[in-house]
Amino acid sequence: MTPELLIDLILSISLLLLAMVTLRQRTPGDAVIQLMIFGLLLALSWLRVQAPDLSLTEAAIGPGVTGALLLASLRRIGFHRPFPPPASLPFRAAASLGCGIVGVVLSWILLQSWDRPQGLTELAYQHLPESGSKNPITAVILNYRGYDTLLEIGVLLVAALSVYTLAAPVRGKAVKPPGAIFRLYLRMMTPLFLLVVPYMVWIGGYAPGGAFQAGALLSGLGVLTLLGPRPWPIQLRRKLLRASLALGFILFLVVAVWTWRYGDFLTYPPAEASKWILVIESSCALSIGICLTVMFAGCAGWLSEEREGFR
Amino acid sequence: MTDSTVVYALAGIWIAMLGLRSLLVNRDHFKRIVAANLLGSGVFLTLVALAGRGEGAADPIPHGMILTGIVVAVSGTGLFLALLGRLRELESSEEEET
């Protein structure tokens, strides 16, 4: 047994066990904490399968943003309220049997097809010089499959707007003012975030990084700021806030229509590709960050009009 | 089969199945959201392992898909949580009235 295999075995078995432990927790608070640990370990395991881009995103979004959203909404749902009992025993047994059979079949298919040749790797690398990006993943999401990413930013915008419209204040629960250590931490981290976020956007054209990683980091800063003494992201003028929510999607759409004159929807000429990718990436990073921050504020009940400047 | 990424692909399948089972048997909406997140993570893990198998560079196309998927999953989670929070508020205000 090689050391690599040993690490892979330990990591994947821990992931499985953590998933089980997460689902066995009796209160929502405990389940969220376990899920966040699972997310961190998942990010670690993706480094082992040659996916540093995804690992960065998962580390920021899995334990970070998803964890923050879940914890924030526990303010309204109750941290320690135990889960109601699950369905009846026969139904549970049937569900376990069904999922077990599906799992066995999927594992069998996976092992059978494991040695088949790879899909489009060669094609993706072959056209990399014309794509305007030296990072193949950035080339995929913003050039080859730009259409998917456009729609995805649309999904994020629709979700953020829905959270925005559903926002209502949480009654009778005042937020404790942040302590001195948190205020110091926020003061130290803010410049660092403001430095790393643009760097992430820029480096995405060459190495692991890009709009999603930058956006996720920006939302981390947003969440920290919301918890701090001056929650400026939701004290922004409403029009400005809404405009920055939609900026990424609108600019992406404008670029898509603008490049139509070169032939096809979202087909950039190779000479100009890197310029358009940078425009889309910077605006999308901003919008992703603001959308996720607004979602956090909405889940925590801090978004409603009557609590503008909620503290 | 010397490639050890296969263990991640298998772990991913079984994490997804654990999430699916929990999604089916639990009645609590919050627990279902947690289970749906695990289900998604399992699927992502399998896909990433499939993209990274064999020698040479990993396949960037599934990576792009998963990157999109992660962001869509977090949007969905946020939306479900906002809906759930609103539902709980409506329930508690109904209790107050009666």
Verify whether the Cβ–Cβ distance B77 to A77 is below 8 Å.
Answer: no
Whether A281 has its CB under 8 Å from any CB of chain B: the answer is no
The predicted model gives B23-48 an average pLDDT of 93
pLDDT at residue A194 in the model: 93
Contact: B14, A103; criterion CB under 8 Å: yes
For range A77-105, the mean pLDDT: 89
More confident residue, B3 or A2: A2
> Among A35, A76, A232, which residue's Cα sits nearest to residue A166?
A76
In the predicted model, what is the mean pLDDT of residues A235-250? 84
pLDDT score, position A306: 47
C-alpha A298/C-alpha A292 separation (Å) is 10
Interface of B with A in 11-50 (CB under 8 A): 11, 13-22, 24-28, 30-31, 33-35, 37-38, 41-42, 44-46, 48-50
Interface probe for A, chosen from B34, B55, B89 (most Cβ of A below 10 Å), is B34
How buried is A21 (Cβ within 10 angstroms: 0-12 exposed, 13-18 middle, 19+ buried)? middle
CB contact under 8 A, B82 and A73: yes
Measure the CA–CA gap between A245 and A267, rounded to whole angstroms.
25
Q: Are A23 and B18 in contact (CB under 8 A)?
A: yes
Sign, CA dihedral A298-A302-A308-A309, equals negative
Asked whether the predicted pLDDT for residue A247 surpasses 50, the reply is yes
Question: In chain A, pLDDT over 70 holds for what percent of residues?
Answer: 93
Note the pLDDT of residue A154.
94
Q: A165 to chain B, minimum CA–CA distance in Å?
A: 10
Hey, what long-range contacts does A165-169 have (CB within 8 A, 24 or more apart)? A166/A298, A166/B82, A166/B83, A166/B85, A166/B86, A167/A297, A167/A298, A167/A301, A167/A303, A167/A304, A167/B82, A168/A301, A168/A304, A168/B85, A168/B86, A168/B89, A169/A301, A169/A304, A169/A306, A169/A307, A169/A310
- As to burial, measured by CB atoms within 10 angstroms (0-12 exposed, 13-18 middle, 19+ buried), residue B31 is buried
- The answer, yes or no, to whether residue A99 has pLDDT greater than 90, is yes
**A139-188 pLDDT per residue, tens:** 888 888 888 899 999 999 999 999 988 877 666 566 677 788 988 999 99
Which has more confidence, A227 or A289? A289
A298 with B4: Cβ contact below 8 A: no
Would the CB atoms of A83 and B30 count as touching at under 8 Å? Answer: yes
Q: Which of A93-107, A183-197, A209-223, A260-274 has the lowest mean pLDDT?
A: A260-274
Q: Which residue has the tokens 């409403």?
A: A238
pLDDT the model gives residue A304: 65
Mean pLDDT for A191-195 is: 94
Is B61's CB within 8 Å of A8's CB?
no
User: Which residues from B are below 8 Å from A120, CB to CB?
Assistant: 59, 61
> Using CA atoms, how far apart are residues B2 and A2, in angstroms rounded to an integer?
10
Picking from A86, A148, A292, the nearest residue to B68 by CB comes out as: A148
d(CA B66, CA B62): 6
Among B6-10, B39-43, B61-65, B92-96, which stretch is predicted with the lowest mean pLDDT? B92-96
Residue A172 has a pLDDT of: 55
Q: What is the largest CA-CA distance in chain A?
A: 63
Which A-chain residues 73-132 have CB contacts (< 8 A) with chain B?
73, 76-77, 83-84, 86-87, 91-92, 95-96, 98-100, 102-103, 106-107, 110-111, 114-115, 118-121, 124-125
A-chain CB neighbours of B14 within 8 Å are 16, 103, 107
Phi, psi for A145 (deg, rounded to 5): -120, 45
Question: Does the interface predicted TM-score (ipTM) exceed 0.95?
Answer: no
A276 close to A268: Cβ distance less than 8 angstroms: yes
Cβ neighbors of B96 (< 8 A, separation 6 or more) are: none
Find chain B residues with C-beta within 8 A of A28's C-beta.
30-31, 34
Q: What is the pLDDT of residue A41?
A: 94
Is residue A54 a contact partner of residue B50, using CB atoms and an 8 Å limit? no
Q: Which of A196-200, B51-55, B81-85 has the lowest mean pLDDT?
A: B51-55
Looking at the structure, give the CATH architecture of the domain made up of residues B6-97. Orthogonal Bundle (1.10)
Residue A225 is classified by DSSP as: H
Q: How far apart are CA A50 and CA A48, in angstroms?
A: 6
Look-up of token digits 């229509």: A257
CB contact under 8 A, B11 and A13: yes
Q: Can you tell me the distance from the alpha carbon of A210 to that of B73, in angstroms, rounded to the nearest whole number?
A: 18
CB A275 within 8 A of CB B57: no
Q: Per residue in B48-71, pLDDT tens?
A: 998 888 777 788 888 999 999 999
Q: Which of B35, B48, B49 is nearest to B77 (CA)?
A: B35
- The residue written with tokens 């749902």 in the block is A77
Average pLDDT value over all residues in chain A: 86
What mean pLDDT is predicted for residues B16-40?
93
Which of B13, B25, B84 lies nearest to residue A87, judging by beta carbons? B25
The domain limits of chain B are 6-97
A–B interface: beta-carbon pairs under 8 A: 259
> From CA A55, how far away is CA A36, in angstroms rounded?
14
Q: Calculate how close chain B gets to A308, using CA atoms only, in Å.
A: 18
Give residue A276's identity as a one-letter amino acid code. W
**Rounded average pLDDT over A20-36:** 93
Residue A283 predicted with pLDDT over 80:
yes
